[in-house]
Amino acid sequence: MKHSMNLMTEKRSSYRALQRFALAVLCGAILPGASSRAAEFVGIVYPKHDHMLSVHMAGVVDRLHVKLGQRVKAGQPIFSQDVRLQQTEQQRRLVILNDIAEQRATEQRRAILEDLVTDATFLYETAGTVSREELLKLRMELEATSGRSGQLQAAKKREQTELEIAEREYEMRVLRAPISGVVTMLKVRQGEWAAPGDALVRLVDDTDCELRVNISQTAARKLSAGAPVTVHLEDAAVPGPQAGRVIFVAPVIDAASALVEVRVKIPNRERRIRPGVKARLVMDGVS
């Protein structure tokens, strides 16, 4: 009887020891690799650039230069508005700028008056054949002509500026691609009205992608800008881990979630990665 009680006591002790061991394993206190387990954080992949384009000035669309899905280069025209009025205004400003008849006549008159004033001054001081009133009249006329010449020169500078403004308004009637990319949205057709503020064209550059993910404070302390990381895409077309590099770690913690925003650059030169897919940031040594 006493032997049976000793066996039961030993079994209870062994069971309690097994429970403590299991609890220790779950808490990471026994297994040497528990403190270096890999942590995964899920985020969304975005393109390098994603621009919504609008026009500078309201007007009617005259011509489309691209199609939906077409790849364009920076500076390439996407569509142009009706520019007939701007062309006419530009030609008018050019004609006004090139009209220098009055300026030429004024300069010639000033040169003649300068010679007359020089001769009249000599005659007044030597022979006295020219009166003082006549000399003063010539000098006043020369001053007025010189002033008019200065006004005309200033007017030509103003006309040059007005021509440049007209050329700029003409150029603003053409919507050009600010970056190289793919046209993924084209909400305008020939003959339609386009107004400033309306999102008419979407241009996406996916040569590089960006994973935006929120991670724990503990994991954020292990990252810094430029650090290499491993990313797994939830896309069967892109299997296996992808190499990425941290480009941004938020200096503040989100008050609502207590997480830190991190952005990771993922090369996509072959354009296998489709922006919008989910991805997992894998970090070792984060419990």
pLDDT digits (tens), the chain, 287 positions: 444 444 445 545 554 544 443 333 333 333 334 344 678 899 999 999 999 999 999 999 999 999 999 999 999 999 999 999 999 999 999 999 999 999 999 999 999 999 999 999 989 888 888 889 999 999 999 999 999 999 999 999 999 999 999 999 999 999 999 999 999 999 999 999 999 999 999 999 999 999 999 999 999 999 999 999 999 999 888 888 899 999 999 999 999 999 999 999 999 988 889 999 999 998 876 65
Same domain, 39 and 20: no
Euclidean distance between CA atoms 51 and 202, whole angstroms: 6
Same domain, 88 and 166: yes
Q: Name the region of 197 (left: φ>0; alpha: ψ -120 to 50; beta: rest).
A: left
Euclidean distance between CA atoms 175 and 195, whole angstroms: 12
254 assigned to some structural domain: yes
pLDDT of residue 237: 80
Q: Name the region of 113 (left: φ>0; alpha: ψ -120 to 50; beta: rest).
A: alpha
213 assigned to some structural domain: yes
Q: Which domain holds residue 15?
A: 1-32
pLDDT of residue 280: 92
Q: Which amino acid is at 274?
A: R
Same domain, 227 and 271: yes
Same domain, 211 and 157: no
Same domain, 98 and 24: no
140 assigned to some structural domain: yes
CA-derived radius of gyration, the chain = 40
Q: Domain of 42: which CATH number? A: 2.40.30.170
Pick the closest to residue 117 from 140, 149, 101 (CA basis).
140
69 assigned to some structural domain: no
Same domain, 18 and 45: no
Distance of alpha carbon 233 from its chain centroid, rounded? 27
Tell which of 172, 188, 216 closes a domain: 172
Same domain, 148 and 211: no
182 assigned to some structural domain: no
Sign of CA dihedral 50, 56, 59, 62: negative
pLDDT of residue 129: 85
- Number of structural domains in the chain: 3
111 assigned to some structural domain: yes
Beta bridge partners of 204: 50, 182
Same domain, 104 and 143: yes
Same domain, 140 and 92: yes
